[in-house]
Amino acid sequence: MELIFEKSRPGRGAGCIPASDVAAINIEAVIDRKYLRTELDLPEVAEVDLIRHYTNLSRRNFGLDLGFYPLGSCTMKYNPKVNENAAALPGFTGLHPYAGDEWAQGNLQLMDEMQQYLCNIFGMAEFTLQPAAGAHGEFAGMMMIKKYFEKKGEKRHRILIPDAAHGTNPASGALCGFETVTLRSNNEGGVDIDHLKSLMTEDVAALMLTNPNTLGLFERNIEEVSRIIHEKGGLLYADGANANAFLGITRPGDLGFDVIQLNLHKTFSTPHGGGGPGSGPVGVGKVLVDYLPVPRIVKTDDGYRWSEDFPYSIGRVRAFYGNFNVIVKAYAYIRSLGAEGLKHATQMAVLNANYIKEKLKPYFDLPYDRVCMHECVFSGSRQVEENGIHTTDIAKRLIDFGYHPPTIYFPLIVPEAIMIEPTETESKETLDAFCQAMIIISREARENPQRLKDAPLSTEVSRLDEVLAARKPDVCWKKS
């Protein structure tokens, strides 16, 4: 498709600006010419062409509303429409963040209740809604840990991170100036307890654990892990991206976690928007409450208000109060489902994952053959060895069957990983049809490997040259 710039014609335009109702002034009389720009290079298109451009672009995009999207670790559950409508209410969208607390009592109540619900669901003492996404929450959480030790006057330099962890974990730790040490997984996909013991010293601030981990497996030895960490004065950090696996079943706070970041855009069904916005609330146990970002909501006799009066706070991680509009959607979700609904969602998510695991086990290698939680991770190794077909080929071929591919090549500890997270909002028929497609593809790998290598065959573009993109980067269009 042509770029919007290529459709531009001098003199066209869509948005028209109202005539001024105040006295006309010469801009140069109020702003020195040296501050003014000389040209403005933006596309000039008529409204109809603009709408067609973006509407047709949208049709070249696969969304959850088109079909199954089993992207592991991303919890692509259905995004209920009522939540969208709630968040679009003018009372929520129209308020300036500095309007003053008296104007915003509805928003403040919603945020306060949301924090309370999250505390109840995760067993934490307090929550902040400020971080804009999961990784932002990790960063905030790790800073609180840093501050905690700073406050205690302890200098701890290292953090432990399992080899299966998401890349943002070490990145977030590093951003806080921690040295990250990789913790090995054992042969059943859990923490290697001996390795943990050997690494856990008084120089270690925390273990960042994803539980269930990115293999979709619950850490059976969580009590022991928690004991080992805490005995050495360390803290236990939970990457809560996988929280869809345990809502209403167990609570990280009860399991010994001191801090957890969530991804509302995963667990709490807010849409992912093609890459964001998300929202990454962070919950903390009592030991970390003092370090939460400011401002925090306090409840007084005349209602809610924002307060910055928390001297040990890490400060702010962004301007204003968080991705408020995303939080509205998650709030609506929690209220619609209620306690039972949240638990049922988790149960069905886990049932769905295990169902897929059982159905596909005969056709693909399953490195850790245990009951899984919300996702299961296969390996495409057999197909590489036997058919010279890579996981990427399988993924691309799935597109032709009308599915978004699973997450691939992650976690890094599984060679040729195929990470499938169905979520609870998919029906048995959908799973059956998807498994059928996977089985057909496993047969095609043997019988017609070239078709897989040529896949996808049904899209506007075929496989794109990523090497070229990285070698000769073109990230900004230039008139030729």
Partner 1 sequence: MNYAPHTEEDIAQMEAAVGIADVEELFADIPAKYRLAQLPDIPAPLSEQETIALLNGLSRKNILPHLTLTGAGAYHHFIPAVVGHIINRAEFYTAYTPYQAEISQGILQAIYEYQTMIAHLTGMEIANASMYDGASAMAEAAVLSAKTLNRSKIIIARSVHPEYRAVVRTYCWSNSYEVCEIPFNQTGQIDLDLLQKELAENVAAVLVQSPNFFGVIEDIAPLAEAVHSFGAMLVAAFTDGTALGILKPAGESGADFVVGEGQSFGNPLNYGGPYLGIFAAREKFLRRIPGRLVGATVDKNGRRGFVLTLQTREQHIRREKATSNICSNEALCALAAGVYLATLGKNLQKLAALNVQKTQYLKKQLLGIPGWKEVFTAPVYNEFAVSCPDARLVNEKLKKEGIVGAYELPKSYPELKNALLFCATEMVSKEDIDRVVDIVKGAL
Ligand X SMILES: Cc1ncc(COP(=O)(O)O)c(C=O)c1O
Kindly state the helix (H) or strand (E) to which residue 238 belongs, with its residue range.
strand 235-239
**Interface with ligand X: number of residues (CB under 6 A):** 13
Among 216, 234, 252, 280, binds ligand X (CB under 6 A): 280
For residues 4 and 228, what is the distance between their CA atoms, to the nearest angstrom? 57
Binding window for its own copies (CB under 8 A); candidates: 35-43, 103-111, 393-401, 424-432: 424-432
Binding window for ligand X (CB under 6 A); candidates: 130-138, 224-232, 327-335, 439-447: 130-138
In whole angstroms, how close is the CB of 467 to ligand X at the nearest point?
24
Residues 6+ apart with CB under 8 A from 403: 67, 68, 69, 70, 434, 437
Cβ proximity to its own copies: between 9 and 157 the closer is: 9
425 counts as binding partner 1 under rule CB under 8 A: yes
**Residue 239 touches which of its own copies, ligand X, partner 1, none (CB < 5 to 8 A by kind)?**
ligand X
Q: In a 3-state reduction of DSSP, which class is residue 384?
A: helix
326 counts as binding partner 1 under rule CB under 8 A: yes
Do you find a cis peptide bond into 18, omega within 30 degrees of 0?
no
Distances (CA, A) of 373 to 215, 294, 351, 455: 9, 35, 8, 31
**Interface with partner 1: number of residues (CB under 8 A):** 211
**Residue 115 touches which of partner 1, its own copies, ligand X, none (CB < 5 to 8 A by kind)?**
none
Helical segments of 304-422, H only: 324-360, 381-387, 391-400
Report 387-416 residues binding ligand X (CB under 6 A). Answer: none
Kindly state the helix (H) or strand (E) to which residue 387 belongs, with its residue range.
helix 381-387
Distances (CA, A) of 456 to 52, 168, 398, 399, 459: 25, 30, 8, 6, 6
Q: In a 3-state reduction of DSSP, which class is residue 329?
A: helix
Report 250-279 residues binding ligand X (CB under 6 A). Answer: 263, 278
Report 51-80 residues binding partner 1 (CB under 8 A). Answer: 51, 53-55, 57-66, 69, 71, 74, 76-80
In whole angstroms, how close is the CB of 140 to ligand X at the nearest point?
12
Binding window for its own copies (CB under 8 A); candidates: 32-40, 44-52, 124-132, 454-462: 44-52
> Quick check: 296 and 307 in contact, CB under 8 A?
yes
| 8-state DSSP, 71 | B
Residues 6+ apart with CB under 8 A from 44: 8, 9, 10, 11, 12, 13
Among 1, 3, 31, 46, binds its own copies (CB under 8 A): 46
Structure tokens given for 259: 């801090």
Q: In a 3-state reduction of DSSP, which class is residue 378?
A: strand
**Residue 210 touches which of ligand X, its own copies, partner 1, none (CB < 5 to 8 A by kind)?**
ligand X
Binding window for partner 1 (CB under 8 A); candidates: 198-206, 228-236, 245-253, 378-386: 245-253
**Residue 441 touches which of its own copies, ligand X, partner 1, none (CB < 5 to 8 A by kind)?**
none
For residues 415 and 408, what is the distance between their CA atoms, to the nearest angstrom? 10
60 counts as binding its own copies under rule CB under 8 A: no
193 counts as binding partner 1 under rule CB under 8 A: no
Among 67, 123, 367, 456, binds its own copies (CB under 8 A): 67
Interaction mask 338-377, partner 1, x per CB under 8 A: xxxxxxxx-xx-xxx-xx--xx----------xx-x----
Q: What is the CA radius of gyration of the chain?
A: 25
For residues 374 and 237, what is the distance between their CA atoms, to the nearest angstrom? 20
In whole angstroms, how close is the CB of 298 to partner 1 at the nearest point?
17
**Residue 315 touches which of partner 1, its own copies, ligand X, none (CB < 5 to 8 A by kind)?**
partner 1
E strands, 140-213, where?
A: 158-162, 179-183, 204-210
Cβ proximity to its own copies: between 251 and 266 the closer is: 266
Residues 6+ apart with CB under 8 A from 287: 148, 235, 258
For residues 28 and 474, what is the distance between their CA atoms, to the nearest angstrom? 37
Distances (CA, A) of 411 to 4, 164, 354, 408: 38, 6, 18, 8
Structure tokens given for 89: 């209410």
Interaction mask 224-253, ligand X, x per CB under 6 A: ---------------x-x------------
Which parts of this chain interact with ligand X (CB under 6 A)? 73, 133-135, 166, 168, 210, 214, 239, 241, 263, 278, 280
Which parts of this chain interact with its own copies (CB under 8 A)? 9, 12, 46-49, 51-52, 55-56, 59, 65-67, 78, 80-81, 425-427, 429
